[in-house]
Chain A
Amino acid sequence: MRDYDAIVIGGGHAGIEAALALSREGFPTLLITQSLDAIGRMSCNPSIGGLAKGNLVREIDALGGEMGRLADSAMIQMRLLNRRRGPAVQAPRAQEDKFSYSRKAKETLEKEPHLSLFMDTVTDLLVEDGAVIGVVTERGWSISARTVVLTTGTFMDGRIFIGEYEAPCGRLAEAAAIGLGDSLRRLGFHTGRMKTGTPARVLLSSLDLNRMEVQEGDSPMSAFSFETESIDRPSLPCYVTYTNETTHRIIRDNIHRSPLYGGKIIGRGPRYCPSIEDKVVRFPDRERHQIFVEPEGIGSEEMYLNGLSSSLPEDVQHAFIHSIPGLEHAQIMRPAYAVEYDYLDPLDLYPSLESKILANLFIAGQTNGTSGYEEAAAQGLVAGLNAAERLKGNRPFILSRTESYIGVLIDDLVTKGTKEPYRMFTSRAEYRLSLRHDTADQRLTAKGYALGLVSKDRMDRLDRKNETIAAVKDVLRSVRVGAKSAYDVLKEPDKDIMALGIPALEAFPSSVLTEAELDIRYEGYISRQERELEKARKAENLEIPADFDYDSVDGISSESKEKLKAIRPLSIGQAGRISGVRVSDIAVLAVAVRSVRRG
C-alpha cells in the first residue's frame, strides 16, 4: 500500500496540469512544492498564448486541461495575432494579471477533492527494481506513490546572475532545489545546463507614457477555453518604445561585465528570445530594438520591459534603461537577471513522457529543456494523463504530429532532443494548416472524453456545435452566388462569409460561421496533404516493442543502430524522424519488427 497513487513534484504550469489530470481522474495525488505562494507563478512575461503557443493553450483546453480557463479568468488584454497573414497561423495571445492568475491556480488546486498540497523540497527519489516508488524530502519525509511526475522547472541547481552577482536561486530570491540534480545523476539521468533570462520590472508612475506608442487589445475579448462563453474583464494597454544608439553604446561598453560574455554562464540560451546584449552584439547594424512595456497586473505598478532581458550588472541596467524614451526616470523595482539550471535530456523519455531510466517516473516542463508556460503546461497534462493511464493499467496516450501541436512538441523532444530551450513555432509542424487554433476541440476533445478528463456534457455540446457547422455548410451549398454555390465562392481568396449576406445564416453565431468558412477555404489544401498524412499515420501505427533488440537485426548500419538504441523509438514513424537514420535501415527495421510480432 502506498501513501498516494501519484506525487507531482513542482507547482508550476506543468505541475498544475499534471496534478489536476491525475486527481480529476480520481487518483489520490500529492503535489509537493517549495513554496505554496508560488503556484502557477508567471516567472517571466505576463502573457499567455501567442503564435503556436496559443494553439497549445487551446489544445490543452480541448483535452480537459486548466490553462485556458485560468488565462480567461485573469486576462487584462487579448489580441488575435496574424489576422491578415493567414488564418491557419492565427493565434490568440493575452496579457495576464499574473497575481490573479497565480491565486486562481492555487484556489483551483485547493478545491480539488483528491488532491493534497504540501510545502517541502524533494531531494531524492525512492527506487525499487528500476521503478520509482516515492520521494524523500529536505525535511526528512519519505512519501511513497505508485507514480511520480517531476516538474522542477528552472529550480534544479538553479543559479541566477546579475553582472558580478550570482546566487543559487530558481527565481530571484527563491532558493534553488539543491540535491535532486545530484540524485538523478547518480541514478543515471543525463543532465545539461540551459540558460534563460528575464527583464527588469519598473514602476508605472515613474514612466513617461506620452513618449511611447500605445498598444490596445481587441474588443470584445475572445477566450482561450472552448468552455468560456464570454469574457468580461478590463482591457489594459501595453506601450511600445525603442532602444537607440546610446543604449547600444552603454551595452557595448560594459559587455565584459556580462556573465554571458565573461564565460560564467555555460548553459545555452534561446536564440528566439535573446538578451538585449545578444541583440546588440549579434546585429550591430540595427539602429533600434523594439521594447514592449506591459502591465504585470491590475492595481500593480510593476511594468514588464519586454525585449530587455539582460544579465548585465544593475548599474549598467539603470544606465541603459534610462537612455530609452519614456523610461528616462524609470524606477527599477526588480532587476533583469539570467538563470542557469539543470535540465534532463528529453531523449531519455518515451513519447508518454515516462522516463526510460526509471519506470513510473514521468517528467514534464522546463526540466525537459523547453521554455514557456504553454509548452510546460502541455507536457504536464500529457505526463499527468499518462501517469493516470499507467495507474489504470492502460496503454500510453500519445498524440501524433498530424493532429496537434502538443504531438509535435513531444515528438520533437523525445526524438530529436534539444540544444536550446525549446519553444513551439508553427513552422515546426508539417501539417499546420490542419492545426488551426479554432479546431482544437474537434481534433482533441473526444480523446479527452475517452480518457475521462472531459465531461459528457461538454462532449454533447461539441456534437451540437459540429451539427451546427454542418448545417452552415449545407446552407452554403444550397445558396447560389452568381454562377456558383456560396460554398465554392468561399474557396476563392478574400471572400468573407459575413459579406455574402445570406439571410439563412444570420441566426448562427459568428464563431461557427468563421470556423465553417475556414474549413471550406482550406479544404483543397488540406486534401493535398491527405496522402502524406495517411502515410504518416500508417508509419505511426507500426509499433516497435519498447524492449526490441536492435542487435539481433542484421542489415541495419551500425551508425543507425546506435541511434536507434539510444532513442528506442516506439513506432516506425518515430524511428524515421531520427536524424541521420537511413530510409533502407528503417525498412529493414520494419521487417524485423513485423517478424517479431508474427513469431
Chain B
Amino acid sequence: MAHYTTDEPVYALATPFSPSALAVLRASGDGVTKLFAPFFTGRLLSAPSSSAVHGFIVDGTGERIDEVMVIRYGKGHGYTSEEAFEIMCHGSLPVIRRISRLLEECGIREALPGEFTYRAFMHGRMDLTEAEAVEEIVSSKTERGASDALFRLTGSIHSEAEKAKDSILDILASLEVQLDYGEDEIPEEWEFPSERVDPICSRLLSIAATYSSSRLWSDGALVVIAGRTNAGKSSLFNVLLKQNRAIVSPVEGTTRDYIEADAVIAGIPVHLFDTAGLRDTEESIEAEGIRRTEDLMEKADLIVYVIDPSSGDVPPDDSRVLAVYSRLDLTGSDGSLAFSSVTGEGMDQVIDAIAKRLTDGLDACTGVPRIDSERQRDALIAASDALKDAEQSMQFGYDVVAMYLQSALSSLADLTGETTGEDVLDRLFSSFCLGK
C-alpha cells in the first residue's frame, strides 16, 4: 500500500481529468528528472532550474506520444521543494493516460491525494500553514469519490483479486511452514505448486488484457438523457456538467435537438447527450429532434430516463434504461432514484448509479471482468510476474520464493486497496499441525 512519503518519485495530474485544451502533470522526488529524461526529446537535464523546455514525449519504442513543454525545477525551487518537473501537454484523455502510464513505467508512482502539499509542508515551506496541508489531505479524501472512481473496482474484480490472494496465501503458508519449522519437524520437501499458480497467472493476465480492449476507457461511454418533455432532463444534464450549458426553462420542448458534451462522471469519460423531449408533435423540426433522440437511444450504452413523478410516465422497458425521478420533493419513499435540480439533493446517488450501471454492463459482456485503469492493470501484471519469478527462484532457495509470493500478495493488495486481511501465520496455524 502506498503511504504519504517525501522524496520518493511521485506524479499527479494537476488539472481536472476531463477533455480540455491543456493538461498539466507534475512530478516530484529525488532523481525524478533523470527517470523521465530518456522519454523526452528536449534537453531537460542540462536545462536551468525553473526554465521551460520544448520537446516530444516518446514511449519506449520511440513513438511520439505528445508535443509538450516541460518546466524543470531543481531541489529547493519547486512547489514541494523537491527536485520536480511539470509537463504541459494536450488535454485529451488518451494523451493524459498515456503520459501517466509512461511516468509509472519510469518508476514514478501516482501521488496520494494532497501528497504534493504534504511534501511542501514537510519540507518546511513556511508559507503553507498546517491547516492548508491538512485541509488538502482531508478534503481530497472526501472528494475522492470523483477521482477515486477512476480506480474503482467493480465487485467482480474485487472478488477475483480476493480469490487469487486467498490461493496465494495458502501456498505461502505451506512454504512458510518450511521456513519457520526445522526439517526435523517438517521433513517433507516443498514443491512449487505450478498446477495452482499457473491458472492464477493466466487469470490475472486475462483480466489485465481487458484494459486495452475496454471501449469505455478508450472512447468514453455514450450516455443519453431521455424522457418526456419538461421532465427535467436539461436540469440533470446541467448538474452533471456542472455548467449552464443547456437552456433550462419550464416551457415544454425547449431542447429541440440534442446537445452533446464530454464529461467525466464518477471518473468515467462519458459522451453525454441531452435530448429533445419525447411527445407526439405536429411540428416538423421538433419531430426531427425526437427522431434523432430515438436514434441516439438505439446506440446508447446507457439511457438515463428522467420522469416527472406528477406525469404518471413509466420508463421504457429496456435493460439499458436507468429511471430517475426529478423533483425530489414529489416522490414517495419507494427507494427509486430521485434528484432535485434546485438543491442538488440525490445527485450523488444518481451519479453512483450511472457509474455502477456503466461498469456492470461491461462485466456482463464477457466471462472476464474488466478493469479500467492502468494502475489496476499494472498491479495485475506485477502480481503475475512475481508469481512467475517465484517459480523460477526454486533453485535459489525457499526464502527467495517466499519473498516473491509476498510481493504478489502485496501487488494484489494494491489493487484492492487493502493489505492482506489474514496474517500468513494465522493461515499457517489453522492449516498445519505444528509444534513439538
Contacts and interface: CB of A to CB of B under 8 A. Distances in A.
Given A539-B3, A584-B112, A427 B137 contact: no
Counting contact residues on chain B (CB < 8 A from A), the size range is 35 or more
Contacts of B124: 598
Contact of B184 (A215, A587, A588, A590): A215
A87 B183 contact: no
A407 to B, nearest CB: 18
A82 B182 contact: yes
B133 interface: yes
B111 to A, nearest CB: 11
Interface of B: 1-8, 112-115, 118, 121-122, 124, 130-131, 133-135, 137-138, 141, 176, 178-185, 190, 393, 395-403, 424-425, 428-429, 433-436
A426 B134 CA distance: 38
Nearest to B114: A587
Most buried by B among A291, A494, A595: A595
Nearest to B7: A538
11 contacts: A51-B180, A85-B179, A85-B183, A89-B179, A282-B433, A427-B424, A432-B399, A538-B7, A587-B112, A590-B4, A595-B130
Nearest to A50: B182
B46 to A, nearest CB: 27
B133 A591 contact: yes
Contacts of A79: 182, 184
B436 A292 contact: yes
Nearest to A84: B183
Which 6 pairs across A and B sit closest by C-beta, in order of nearness?
Answer: A86-B399, A86-B397, A587-B4, A273-B435, A493-B395, A595-B130
Given A85-B183, A93-B182, A493-B395, 20 more contacts: A50-B182, A51-B181, A79-B184, A82-B179, A82-B182, A86-B400, A270-B435, A272-B429, A286-B433, A427-B176, A432-B399, A494-B395, A521-B396, A535-B3, A539-B3, A554-B134, A583-B4, A586-B4, A591-B121, A594-B130
A598 B271 CA distance: 49
A272 B434 contact: yes
Nearest to B417: A583
Nearest to A294: B436
B137 A535 contact: no
B121 A272 contact: no
B5 A538 contact: yes
Given A82-B183, A289-B433, A586-B4, A555 B137 contact: yes
A318 to B, nearest CB: 21
A555 B134 contact: yes
Contacts of A274: 433-435
B374 to A, nearest CB: 21
Given A89-B398, A291-B436, A307-B435, A425 B122 contact: no
B425 A427 contact: yes
A592 B121 CA distance: 10
A548 to B, nearest CB: 14
A178 interface: no
A578 interface: no
Interface string A249-272: 000000000000000000000111
Contact of A87 (B113, B185, B395, B399): B399
A79 B137 CA distance: 53
Contacts of A88: 397, 399-400
B421 to A, nearest CB: 11
Contacts of B135: 555
Contact of B396 (A290, A425, A493, A535): A493
Contacts of A36: none
Contact of A272 (B396, B401, B403, B435): B435
Contacts of B396: 86, 493, 521
Given A525-B403, A535-B3, A588 B436 contact: no
Interface string A390-432: 0000000000000000000000000000000000011110001
Nearest to B185: A290
A290 B398 contact: no
A555 B3 CA distance: 17
Interface string A544-584: 00000000011100000000000000000000100000011
Nearest to B138: A555
A82 B137 CA distance: 47
A86 B403 CA distance: 11
B133 to A, nearest CB: 5
A236 interface: no
Nearest to A594: B122
Contacts of B397: 85-88, 493
Contacts of B184: 79, 81, 215, 240, 292
